[in-house]
Chains A and B, each alone.
Chain A
C-alpha cells in the first residue's frame, strides 16, 4: 500500500483529473442509459417501435440514443489520450522537475524505480478505463434493447478499451524518456500512440478478412439482429450471388482476446523500449 501511495503521489493531480474526466464520460453514458430506460417505459414498443402509439416513444428514445452514441465515440480517444498523459507524467515529469537525479540514485535500480511508479498508475488507468468500458457496455445494451450484443461497437465496450490505454501508456513512458519535457512528449506520444493503435486495428481488420466466411445476402442465417462482425465494407460477388464476409457473433470472445493479446504484445514491446531508454538516459 505504501509503495502504491509513493508511486502515485508525484502525479496525483494528473490521476485525479484523469479520474474526473473518465467519471464524467461514464456518468454521461449512464445518464443517457437512464434516459433511454425512462423513454422506453414498459418495453411494449421495443425494439421495433412499430405498434400503435409507439411513434412518440421512438421520438423520445432517439435523442438519448444519439447522446449515448456521442459519449461512446469519446472512447475512441479517451484511452489513448489518458494513457499517453499518465505515461509522460511519470518519465518526462520526473526529468522536467529535475528530480530524476535524486530518485534514480536513491532507488536500487532505475528499472525498479520505473516499476514502482508505473505499476500503481498503470493499475489506476486500467481501473478507470474498465469503468468507462463497463458504462459503454450498459449503454450498448440500452441502445440495442437486447443482451445479445454480438460484435456491435465491441471496440468501445470490451477489454479492448483498457488494452488501448495500456498501449498508449507504455509508449508514452518511452517517449517521455526521449523528450524529457511533458507537453512536447505528450504531443509525440499521442501521435505515436494513435499511429500504433491504428496499425494494430488495420492488422486486425486484415486478419478478420482472412478468417471470415462468405455469406450470401439471401442466406437466412444473415440476421443483422445477431450483430455478427462484417469484415468487408461492401458486398462481394461470390459463387452463389452477392454476399458479405462475416464472423459469427459466437466467435466474439476468441476475437476480443486475440485483439487484446496484440495490444498487450505491443505494450510489452514499448515497455521494453522504455526500460532500455531508461538505462541509457542522462538524468
Chain B
C-alpha cells in the first residue's frame, strides 16, 4: 500500500462517521436539486411557447406544475448560502479537539515527527473531503440556478449571488479553519462547535458589512431608468442638482417629509405636486452597481477572501497545537 493510500485510509477511519453522514446529506441534497433541475428543464423543453412567469390560459396546467417544482427548487437554493459553514465546522472541530478530549493527543503527538506535521496530515485530508463535498454542491447549485432560468447562462449575472457556485466552497473553508482553531483552543468538541458557530456568525456578519464598503469604490453609477442587467446592487440615492450625492435616508433626515417622488423622466421631486407637473426637480435618482459581467471576478474574490481567512485560522491552529498541552 502506498503512503498516500495509507494516509487517506487512516485519516478516513478517524472521521468516518462524520464523513459518511455529511456525504449522505450532500448526496441527498444534490439529488433533490438535480431532480428539480431536470424537471424544470423538461418543462421548459416541452412548452417552449409558455412564459411561466407570466402565464396565459393555454399554459395554466403546465404552469401549475412549473410553480410547484420552481417553488421547491427556490426553497432549497435560497438556503444553500449557509451550508458551507456547518459542514466546514463539523469537519474542522474534531481534528485537534477529539484527540485532546480522548486523551490520545499525548500518544499521537509523541509518535509523530512534529505536531505541525501531524496537524498538516490531518487537516489536508479533512480539507480535501470538505472541498470535494462542497464542490459537488457548488456545481449542482449552478446547474439548478441555470435550469431555473430555462438554461440561461448565469455566469454574467448576480442572480442568487452567494447561493450558488464556488462561494459555497469558500465559506466552507472559513468554517473549517475556524473549527480547527477553536477546537485546538478549547480541546472539547461540543463546546468548540458552539464557540465556532458564534465566531463564524460574527465573521459572516463582518463580511456582510465589509464587502459593500469595498465595492463602493469600484461600483459604477447607473440611472434607475436604464436596463442594467442583473448587477450587484451596492447603493442608491439622489444626485442633487448641485452634484452632491445623498442617500434616501439622508434626504429624509434633511427634509423630514414623505417622499421624495420620482417622475416618469427619472428626475426626483420634493413633493407629489411638483412630480406631477414636472417642475422644480431636486435631482436625479442614481444607483451604484457592479455590472453582471464582473460576476466571476467578484465571486472569485469573495471565495479567495473566505478561504484565505480560513487558511489563517488553520495556521493559528498550528501555532496553538505546537504550544498547547495534550490534555
A-side residues, CB < 8 A to B, are: 11, 13-14, 16-18, 20-21, 24, 52-56, 59-60, 85, 88-89, 93, 96-97, 179, 181-184, 186-188, 191
Contact = CB atoms under 8 A, between A and B. Distances in A.
List of 4 A-B pairs having minimum Cβ-Cβ separation, nearest first: A13-B191, A17-B194, A184-B17, A53-B256
A56 B249 CA distance: 7
B258 interface: yes
A59 B249 contact: yes
A186 B93 CA distance: 13
B188 interface: yes
A54 B252 CA distance: 9
B194 A187 contact: no
A188 B21 contact: yes
Contacts of A20: 194-195, 198
B259 interface: yes
B190 A59 contact: no
B127 interface: no
B90 interface: yes
B141 interface: no
B214 to A, nearest CB: 21
Of the candidates A96, A184, A191, the one having the most CB atoms from chain B within 10 angstroms of its own CB is A184
A18 B90 CA distance: 17
B259 A55 contact: yes
A97 B327 CA distance: 13
B271 to A, nearest CB: 12
Nearest to B90: A183
12 contacts: A13-B190, A13-B191, A16-B191, A21-B198, A54-B258, A55-B259, A85-B193, A97-B102, A181-B17, A183-B17, A183-B93, A184-B21
A14 B101 contact: no
Of the candidates B18, B94, B101, B191, the one having the most CB atoms from chain A within 10 angstroms of its own CB is B191
Contacts of A52: 256-257
Interface of B: 17-18, 21-22, 25, 90, 93-94, 101-102, 186, 188-191, 193-195, 197-198, 248-249, 252-253, 255-259
Contact of B190 (A55, A60, A88, A188): A88
A85 B198 contact: no
Contact of A89 (B22, B190, B197): B190
Contacts of A183: 17-18, 90, 93-94, 189, 193
B17 A179 contact: yes
B248 A59 contact: yes
B190 A186 contact: yes
Nearest to A56: B252
A18 B194 contact: yes
A186 to B, nearest CB: 7
B186 A13 contact: yes
Contacts of A89: 190
Of the candidates A17, A184, A186, the one having the most CB atoms from chain B within 10 angstroms of its own CB is A17
A13 B93 CA distance: 15
A143 B191 CA distance: 33
Contact of A96 (B25, B102, B194, B253): B102
A182 B252 CA distance: 53
Contacts of B255: 55-56
B256 A56 contact: yes
Contacts of A17: 191, 194-195, 198
Contacts of A56: 249, 252-253, 255-256
Contacts of A59: 248-249, 252-253
A53 B257 contact: yes
Nearest to A78: B197
B253 A14 contact: no
A162 to B, nearest CB: 18
Of the candidates B188, B194, B253, the one having the most CB atoms from chain A within 10 angstroms of its own CB is B194
Nearest to B20: A184
A212 B248 CA distance: 43
Given A21-B198, A96-B102, A187-B90, A14 B190 contact: yes
Nearest to B93: A183
A201 to B, nearest CB: 15
Given A13-B190, A14-B188, A55-B259, 7 more contacts: A13-B191, A14-B191, A52-B256, A55-B255, A85-B190, A183-B94, A184-B17
A185 to B, nearest CB: 9
B194 A21 contact: yes
A11 B193 CA distance: 13
Given A55-B257, A55-B259, A187-B90, A21 B190 contact: no
A175 B186 CA distance: 25
A181 to B, nearest CB: 6
Contacts of B193: 85, 183, 186
Contacts of A16: 191
Nearest to A19: B194
Contacts of A184: 17-18, 21
A182 to B, nearest CB: 6
Contacts of A97: 101-102
Contact of A24 (B18, B25, B189, B198): B198
Nearest to A13: B191
A184 B25 CA distance: 12
A11 B189 CA distance: 11
